[in-house]
A and B are shown apart, each in its own frame.
Chain A
Amino acid sequence: MSLDKEMQELLVNYTIESAELLQVMEEGLMELESIEESEETINAIFRAAHTIKGGAGIFGFEHIVGFTHVVESVLDAMRDGLLKVDSELVAALLPCCDHLGILVREIAKGHTEENSDLTKQSEKIIAGLQPFLDNAEGKQTDSSQVASQSIQVQDETHRVQNIECDNSKSGNWHLFLHFNPDCLRDGMDPLSFILYLTKLGEIIELTTSTQALPSAGEMDPESNYLIFEIVFKSDAEKADIENVFDFVRAGSQIHILPLESKIEYYIDLIDSLESDDMQLGELLIKCGVITRRELEEGLQAQQAKRERQQSQHIGDILIEQQTVQKPIVSAALEKQQRVKESKAIENQSIRVDAGRLDILIDLIGELVIAGASASLRASQTGDMALQEANAAVISLVEEVRDSALQLRMVPIGSTFSRFQRVVRDVSKELGKDIKLHISGADTEIDKSVVEKIGDPLMHLVRNAMDHGIEPAQLRIERDKPAQGNLQLNAYHSSGNIVIEVSDDGRGLDRDKILAKAVERGLIQVGETLSDQEVYSLIFEPGFSTADQISNLSGRGVGMDVVKRNITELRGDIAIDSTPGKGTTLRIYLPLTLAIIDGFLVGVGESSYVIPLDRVVECVALPPNENHDYMELRGEVLPFIRLRQLFNKKATLSKRQNVIVVEHLGVKAGLVVDKLKGELQTVIKPLGKLFGHVQGVGGSTILGSGEVALIIDVPTLLRQQEFASNTH
């Protein structure tokens, strides 16, 4: 692979990744606006911006680097708490996300050079951020002064308990110095070390312990018996303090421990370290809580213990040796664990070209068909062992198929969360206060469905906001809370996924819709329609009851497109509305576009598959039924004779059956010759040539190798209605 090509691939990855990161940023910002600020969210936004900048740097997109850098500075100030997170700040940052998106998309299109229009826009947006930056800088100088004054000491270790502690004079290090008894003989005076220490900082407290002093008779005046405990205040690193005692190291016990305030500092430092998977010791050294020498001693001790068959964690040894306190070690261990976990998660997800998945699923579809064919042949032989072996293969194939389909399932949450932004922007535009509630975000749905559901959902959401939810004034008059509520919900229901868009607005106006429909000649005056039928009129092309056409909706284009898009996905849409209370639109979608559970029937010589989720029941056709309806438990059931519709000439079977199907609450019967049972089957699209055929939704290959057509109940019923209307 040439370098250019390699770069090209990297670039594609970069643009994809950036798009995802921008999504993260946007979601984060929306979250910041709605909930009180959370450090984790700000960090996530910052990381996203940082990664985009880093990537741009690799490719040399200076304009992106420059722009992101400014954004990053603002985020950094937010992270440090210098900037208060409010809607104003979020409003300033959201356009940055959008603009970055534009910049990245330009690059994806191959325009790697910056163009002057975009540069101007970048400058404009940056100018919008400038006040925030200035503000942050002002605060920074203030806060650093405050910080230096407010260090507090709370002694924790028992050694320092007896030290009187004065809050105004407090230290951040605790030094335990037990010099080598021979140090005076070696020409080292402990005092000189302690004096030297003052060059690094201030000694707040010094306690001299004389416990080790023997009785006068035994005392060797040339030996050192004194132990010093010092509360020391210094900004120096631990290693620097340790260096002071380099010369007396041998034979001495010297422990340098951070005090409470310092502990917090270290814990924060450990948390903020961007580390790869590293050893605990390395982690502690990196943030300066221990020195390399201390670590080595600890490791030696660990080694020694291991030789004595005692294993001990390095962290515990370090605590035992009093080089570090427990909270720091725990923090470091936690950090290590997190790094490991996130690594594990990274390893678990692989980015795969969707095309390859499609090929896999296609192949598995073939396997299902081939398997069905094999088991059919096996059952014809009457060889029990062969049939059993085949059954085992089939059940495995089914498992493989299910898990392959799982590969394509993605949670609908990411689609939903995009609407946070939409709702925010649109409600501002409309001057309404609308809150979006999301539930069922982890409901999984086929990726190809997710991709196609975005636009229809967008329409429904905008519609609900524009037409459904009343202006605040009107809401208050109607005793409703001023804030409108919009809910997106998703859940699984008997083989379907249901997506609900509901609002607590004014509801659909039945009379207005009827009047409009009469005006447009869709229905006759005086026709009686059920609520459901009336509501479904709004899906007619060009239908709008809005008195005013707005930017958003009211032109009457849209709902019919929504309906068509959903129908294309083999889905359905139903409306539930209570005047004055609100409207709920329910979109029913199949779980996957690739495979359906079907009911196999025979008409004449041919086989047809009726999607099982449409089938309510099967009943026998009453003999000598001459008209096209029958009685089903006291109700009239109209039916379609498939034999006639499909023009089958083969001889009538003695006993005909009626499959009762349901669509949008309307029941109808399909008269068939034979009932052949349930099957799970792979849908094969029929292609463009058959695109217009009403009532046939696709085809499938049966175990026998025969092609069976899949009956599309909604279009079949609609076609029949249409035909009877025109007669």
Chain B
Amino acid sequence: MTEIATTTERKPVVKNTQTLAKAGQYLTFMLNGEVYALGILNIKEIIAYGELTEVPMMPDFVRGVINLRGSVVPVIDLMARFGKGMTPIAKRSGIVIVETENGGEGSHDIGIIVDAVNEVIDIAQQEIEPPPNFGIGIRPDFINGMAKSNGRFIILLNGNRVLSVDEMAALSEAGETRPLDIE
């Protein structure tokens, strides 16, 4: 519980120090009707949604694990992570494998479920705007900026923060002990 409390308190601080997304190539994908993008450099591969093994006693946003050519990779549901309910699995659903840095402890591969993968686009620096303080319905520190392309806003995600293993582990641990706390 305390973990959550500290993360909530830290939010404004994080936002101030947060740097705006840099120009470069981004992979865009659809989630619940919105266009999101992640920097291409952190993306390892995209696979079709396949057999997934659920791990018991984990929060909703951890959908399970998959076998990625011999390594076991956790799969995260971003919608659940943003607190917007579970992503329904459809024909075009895919899993994007992202490499995240974890504060000096090396990198982790994490999969995220997406409704559909769009394309890889170049985004110039002048197209990137800072995210609004509210209105998107996602924790501001998850967003690195907004970019406009073809008349649509694209939400540029801060991969390392959205997929922070430390934070997610703390959340699932807290989630598990919560009922006991109440008792």
In the complex, the chain A residue whose C-beta lies closest to that of B176 is A692
Q: Which of A668-727 contact B (CB under 8 A)?
A: 684-696, 699, 701, 705-709, 726-727
B51 to chain A, nearest CB (A): 6
B134 to chain A, nearest CB (A): 29
| Also in contact, A687 and B53, with CB within 8 A (given A692-B169, A692-B176) | no
Is residue B5 within 8 Å, beta carbon to beta carbon, of the partner chain?
no
Is residue B116 within 8 Å, beta carbon to beta carbon, of the partner chain?
no
Q: Which of B55, B66, B70, B165 contacts A693 (CB 8 A)?
A: B55
| Also in contact, A701 and B55, with CB within 8 A (given A689-B62, A689-B165, A726-B180) | no
Given the complex of chains A and B, what is the CA–CA distance between A645 and B67 in angstroms?
24
Is residue A247 within 8 Å, beta carbon to beta carbon, of the partner chain?
no
The residues of A that contact B55 with a CB separation of less than 8 Å are: 686, 690, 693, 696, 709
| Also in contact, A369 and B56, with CB within 8 A (given A689-B172, A706-B51, A726-B183) | no
A707 touches B65 (CB 8 A): yes
User: What sequence of 0s and 1s flags, for each residue 144-183 of chain B, a beta carbon within 8 Å of any chain A beta carbon?
Assistant: 0000000000000000000001101100110010001001
User: What sequence of 0s and 1s flags, for each residue 50-69 of chain B, a beta carbon within 8 Å of any chain A beta carbon?
Assistant: 01011111100010111100
Given the complex of chains A and B, what is the CA–CA distance between A82 and B64 in angstroms?
72
Is residue B71 within 8 Å, beta carbon to beta carbon, of the partner chain?
yes
A365 to chain B, nearest CB (A): 8
B36 to chain A, nearest CB (A): 21
B65 touches A696 (CB 8 A): no
The residues of A that contact B176 with a CB separation of less than 8 Å are: 692
A707 touches B57 (CB 8 A): no
In the complex, the chain A residue whose C-beta lies closest to that of B174 is A692
Q: Which of A335-370 contact B (CB under 8 A)?
A: 365-366, 369-370
Q: Which of B51, B70, B74, B105 contacts A690 (CB 8 A)?
A: B74
Is residue A41 within 8 Å, beta carbon to beta carbon, of the partner chain?
no
Query: Looking at chain A's contact residues, is the secondary structure mostly helix, strand, loop, or mixed?
Result: mixed
Given the complex of chains A and B, what is the CA–CA distance between A663 and B34 in angstroms?
51
B53 touches A706 (CB 8 A): yes
Given the complex of chains A and B, what is the CA–CA distance between A709 and B53 in angstroms?
8
In the complex, the chain B residue whose C-beta lies closest to that of A682 is B70
A699 to chain B, nearest CB (A): 5
Q: Which of B57, B70, B105 contacts A701 (CB 8 A)?
A: B70
Given the complex of chains A and B, what is the CA–CA distance between A695 and B176 in angstroms?
13
The residues of B that contact A684 with a CB separation of less than 8 Å are: 71-72
B70 touches A369 (CB 8 A): yes
A647 touches B53 (CB 8 A): no
The residues of A that contact B71 with a CB separation of less than 8 Å are: 684
User: What sequence of 0s and 1s flags, for each residue 606-620 of chain A, a beta carbon within 8 Å of any chain B beta carbon?
Assistant: 100000000000000
Given the complex of chains A and B, what is the CA–CA distance between A708 and B53 in angstroms?
7
Counting chain B residues whose Cβ lies within 8 A of the other chain, the interface size class is 20 to 34
A28 to chain B, nearest CB (A): 41
| Also in contact, A705 and B65, with CB within 8 A (given A646-B56, A692-B172, A692-B176) | no
Is residue B139 within 8 Å, beta carbon to beta carbon, of the partner chain?
no
Is residue B81 within 8 Å, beta carbon to beta carbon, of the partner chain?
no
Is residue B15 within 8 Å, beta carbon to beta carbon, of the partner chain?
no
B72 touches A693 (CB 8 A): no
The residues of B that contact A686 with a CB separation of less than 8 Å are: 55, 65, 72, 74
With most chain A CB atoms within 10 A of its CB, the pick from B70, B172, B173 is: B70
| Also in contact, A707 and B56, with CB within 8 A (given A687-B108, A687-B165, A701-B67) | no
Q: Which of A370, A687, A692, A707 contacts B66 (CB 8 A)?
A: A707
Q: Which of B40-58 contact A (CB under 8 A)?
A: 51, 53-58
| Also in contact, A606 and B53, with CB within 8 A (given A693-B58, A699-B72, A707-B67) | yes
The residues of B that contact A726 with a CB separation of less than 8 Å are: 180, 183
In the complex, the chain A residue whose C-beta lies closest to that of B54 is A606
The residues of A that contact B105 with a CB separation of less than 8 Å are: 688
Given the complex of chains A and B, what is the CA–CA distance between A694 and B173 in angstroms?
10
A644 to chain B, nearest CB (A): 10
B172 touches A705 (CB 8 A): no
With most chain A CB atoms within 10 A of its CB, the pick from B54, B66, B102 is: B54
The residues of B that contact A709 with a CB separation of less than 8 Å are: 53, 55-56
A673 to chain B, nearest CB (A): 15
A689 touches B57 (CB 8 A): no
The residues of A that contact B64 with a CB separation of less than 8 Å are: 707
A689 touches B168 (CB 8 A): yes
B59 to chain A, nearest CB (A): 10
Q: Which of A65-79 contact B (CB under 8 A)?
A: none
With most chain A CB atoms within 10 A of its CB, the pick from B58, B65, B172, B183 is: B65
18 contacts between A and B (CB under 8 A): A369-B70, A684-B72, A688-B102, A688-B108, A689-B169, A690-B74, A692-B169, A692-B172, A701-B72, A705-B51, A706-B67, A707-B53, A707-B64, A707-B66, A707-B72, A709-B56, A726-B183, A727-B183
B interface vs A, CB < 8 Å?
Answer: 51, 53-58, 62, 64-67, 70-72, 74, 102, 105, 108, 165-166, 168-169, 172-173, 176, 180, 183
Q: A645-B56, A687-B74, A707-B65 are in contact. List 13 more A-B contacts (CB 8 A).
A: A370-B70, A687-B72, A687-B108, A687-B165, A688-B165, A688-B169, A690-B58, A692-B172, A693-B57, A693-B58, A705-B51, A707-B72, A709-B56
